[in-house]
Amino acid sequence: MDSRGGYPHAMELAVRLEAVRHICLSGQWPSTNNQRRFMTTNSNLGKNSRLYLLGAMLLFWCVVICGRLIYLQVFLYGGFVKQAEHQQQREIPLSAKRGVIYDRSGKELAMSVLVDSAFAVPSEVKDLPTAVSLITRITGDDRNVVLADCRNHKTFCWVARKGNDETIQRIKSLNLQGIHFQKEPKRFYPARDLAAQVLGTVGMEDSGQSGIEHAFDDELRGRAGKMFVSVDARRQWFSDVEKQPEAGENLVLTIDKNIQYIAEKELEQAIHDTQAIAGTVIVENPHTGEILALANRPTFNPNLRKQITPAALTNRAVSYVYEPGSTFKLVTISAALEEKLTNPNEVFDCQMGSIVYNGMRIRDSKPHGLLPVWGVLAESSDVGAIKIALRLGEDRFYKYIRAYGFGQQTGIELPGETRGLTKPVSRWSRVSIAAISMGQEIGISPIQLAGLISTFANDGVWVAPRILTGKVEPQGTPKTVAFHPGPSRRVISSYTAAEMRAMMQQVVLEGTGRKAILEGYTAAGKTGTAQKVDPATGAYSKTKYIGSFAGFAPLNNPQIVVAVILDSAVGLHQGGQVSAPVFRRVAQQVLEYLHTPHDLPLAPQHQLLLAQAKMKDKDLEEGTPDHPGEPLETAEVNGDSSVARTPSPANPRTEGKVLQAAIRETQSVPASPATVNDANQPQAPANSGANGDAAPTKLPTSGTVVLDVEQGGIEVPSFIGKTVRGAVEAAEDAGLDLEAVGSGLARQQSPPAGSHVAAGAHVMVQFGR
């Protein structure tokens, strides 16, 4: 210990130890100078050690501080930035200007215009609930929803988006603090409700919700921009546009604005006149598949988004499924002609409008006797159509149903297109072929019907309907857009198509479509009337009908196809009564608009009025009150009919021979059926007048008319040796009414096998052991 009672300083101890070491080595004490120098050296060493220690401590402190700064600035930077942005600023997407939708002539159907939108900076608003209440009273929005949004976002919230001029001016007149305005693109439809279902609608965020706006939303929307709204420490807001929006592509449709107006105007008039609940008119170019007009009722104004109802949004032209009725007889007859199973002049016995097929009685709307094939189509005889279908057979019939595009989508560029309702042959019942031949137990859409008619007008080639011509870059200079037709396929030969055009002309001239006669133009088409299914009962309604007419004009060089469908007309409801006049008005105006040359001389007005006055609505009736098959919905849902299926034979003679009558030319009796010339173009009947109107066959007042009649009716099969059950089934297959006497095996029958009787005739069979 030292003199102060403590331990010697470490330095002093070191000096003493060094002195001892020196004595031991040299044997003498060190000199005063050496001792002094040694002590100085060691003193310096002590000071350096303290400096090193202090430096190490400072270095460690710097490393810790720097490490913390690096951790905060690098690793936690993203989290702090997001937290700051959440507290001080908000990212607002800037909607891009949607592309313009043009008609085929370059007229705008849909475009975007810049309008004011009101937003609030909640931190600037002194009384937020009051301000929101005042604004929502003007806009009609839900106050609670707007207020909740503003409370969740301290820096920015919309209070009135894309309002009209009156709404924005009323909000501005409130002069509320913290309420500001921003320009945004708003979708605008210059023609209001014109082609509304085709164009569709967009939402508040400019996303397509229906129609073309939805189908081509990605192309039309473009790319949205970004705007940041920030609030500083003084609660002052400022905005910064980080990314400018990029406009979307423009679209060009096949629609012609003027033809669309004609179609919608006449459809609206028809809805008013008939009190129908809905309707559709389609105008198509049969050679290219271009849709020139597509009108629907009910409709809506896409500019008034809040007034749109779900029912009005439905594009019935592509989404509505209905039973076509007699228009489907075109498929039945054309298929039989193509398969060389009949010809336009072959005469069928329509049995005074009644036939029994597989135990089901089917009647025409009025009695018909002997009718040629073109007369079956003109008078819309269900009995005649059934006999033709039986000759065709199920498999071949179904092949043509598919070939005409039924049971599959057409591929038109519109959302929500239906395939329709069809069944494969394996699911047909014993009466399906009879029902489908006259347009029952099958569901189609209006666009499919237009495609069927276009096939006949286009020389037997089916062309997929199209409504989009092409796309145009947003900044591109105006240019012509070339239209490329869709897929096509041949369904029937040119010769068969010519035969069908000639027969369809007779429908207009002499049959149920006489109200479709045009002035100065030939026309051809087919009427259709079908009962609707009552949703309450699941059975066919006795008061609700679908009346339709589809046709084309002119006859030899068709320029347009027009399909008209009216749903549930009140009073007169037959297709020839309510839809054919709409076809006439639309086709007449469209042909004149397209400057189509007349192919008939214009008749004096008084003759037209006289001809119209002679038309009786009762003469235009068609359709059967009987329904051999199941209702459309039931037929599609029930895969297996409750009635055992018996395939219909392709050979018509097993179902009953057709009565054929040929009028031999005596004196001046002319031939009446339609013929086809060498150029595959339909010609008017030989007894047509000067204006091309076919006159009915008139017998001479004197002389002899010889009828060469083949034995017809139903050939009675042999029941001998059959059981009671087997005989009943055979009688049902033949369309006969069987009376069984006794039990066991059939021993006798009357009339005998091989004789010919009328359909539904009574046959007695005696059974014994």
Packed helices 329-338 and 446-457: angle between N→C axes, nearest 10 degrees? 40
Which structure tokens are listed for 612? 């119209």
pLDDT for res 692: 36
Q: 375 Cβ partners below 8 Å, 6+ apart?
A: 368, 381, 384, 506
Mean pLDDT value across residues 125-154:
86
Polymer length of the chain: 769
Q: Does the predicted model carry a pTM greater than 0.85?
A: no
Between residues 575 and 760, the one the model is more confident about: 575
658 backbone dihedrals φ, ψ, rounded to 5°:
-90, 135
Mean pLDDT value across residues 482-494:
92
Contact 198, 294 (CB under 8 A): yes
Distance CA 694, CA 465 (A): 33
Q: What is the DSSP string of 260-281?
A: HHHHHHHHHHHHHHH--SEEEE
Distance CA 270, CA 513 (A): 17
Between residues 270 and 683, the one the model is more confident about: 270
Residue 36 CA to chain centroid, in angstroms? 111
Tokens 């500083």 correspond to 232
Amino acid at 413: E
pLDDT tier, 679 (very low <50, low <70, confident <90, very high otherwise): very low
Average pLDDT, the chain: 79
121 backbone dihedrals φ, ψ, rounded to 5°:
-105, 95
548 backbone dihedrals φ, ψ, rounded to 5°:
-140, 155
Distance CA 40, CA 38 (A): 5
Distance CA 496, CA 492 (A): 6
Contact 276, 578 (CB under 8 A): yes
Pair type for strands 682-683 and 354-357: unpaired
Among 317-331, 340-354, 556-570, 620-634, which is the least confidently predicted range? Answer: 620-634
* E strand or H helix that includes residue 543: strand 540-553
pLDDT digits (tens, 9 = 90+) for 615-672: 666 656 665 555 665 555 444 433 333 333 433 333 333 333 332 333 233 222 333 3
State yes or no: pLDDT of 436 exceeds 80: yes
Q: Identify the CA nearest to 190 among candidates 103, 63, 291.
A: 103
Between residues 764 and 229, the one the model is more confident about: 764
* E strand or H helix that includes residue 230: strand 225-231
pLDDT digits (tens, 9 = 90+) for 164-201: 888 888 888 888 888 888 888 889 999 999 999 999 99
Contact 338, 493 (CB under 8 A): yes
Between residues 306 and 696, the one the model is more confident about: 306
Residue 746 CA to chain centroid, in angstroms? 57
Tokens 């996303």 correspond to 207
pLDDT for res 627: 61
Which structure tokens are listed for 413? 């560029």
DSSP 575: I
117 backbone dihedrals φ, ψ, rounded to 5°:
-120, 140
pLDDT for res 526: 96
Rg from Cα positions in the chain: 44
pLDDT for res 642: 35
Q: Identify the CA nearest to 109 among candidates 261, 2, 4, 5.
A: 261
Neighbours of 92 (CB within 10 A): 17
State yes or no: pLDDT of 243 exceeds 70: no
State yes or no: pLDDT of 35 exceeds 60: no
DSSP 72: I
Distance CA 419, CA 331 (A): 17
Q: Which residues of 303-324 are buried (b: 16+ CB within 10 A; e: fewer)?
A: beeeebeeebbbbbbbbbbbbb
Which structure tokens are listed for 578? 């309510």
694: β partners: 688
Distance CA 81, CA 72 (A): 11
pLDDT digits (tens, 9 = 90+) for 583-613: 999 999 999 999 999 988 876 665 655 565 5
- Alpha helices, DSSP H, located in 404-510: 432-437, 446-457, 494-509
Mean pLDDT value across residues 130-135:
89
Pair type for strands 737-741 and 762-768: parallel
Neighbours of 641 (CB within 10 A): 18
State yes or no: pLDDT of 227 exceeds 90: no
Contact 153, 117 (CB under 8 A): no
Q: 117 Cβ partners below 8 Å, 6+ apart?
A: 158, 160, 161, 162, 163, 181, 182, 183, 184
CA atoms within 13 A on the CB side of 412: 34
Q: Identify the CA nearest to 452 among candidates 420, 413, 414.
A: 420
Amino acid at 294: L
Among 266-275, 569-578, 656-665, 748-757, which is the least confidently predicted range? Answer: 656-665
Distance CA 645, CA 682 (A): 40
pLDDT for res 12: 61
462: β partners: 489
State yes or no: pLDDT of 59 exceeds 80: yes
Q: 180 Cβ partners below 8 Å, 6+ apart?
A: 118, 119, 120, 121, 237
Which structure tokens are listed for 386? 């059934």
pLDDT for res 476: 58
Mean pLDDT value across residues 247-261:
94
Q: Identify the CA nearest to 725 among candidates 767, 686, 683.
A: 767
312: β partners: none
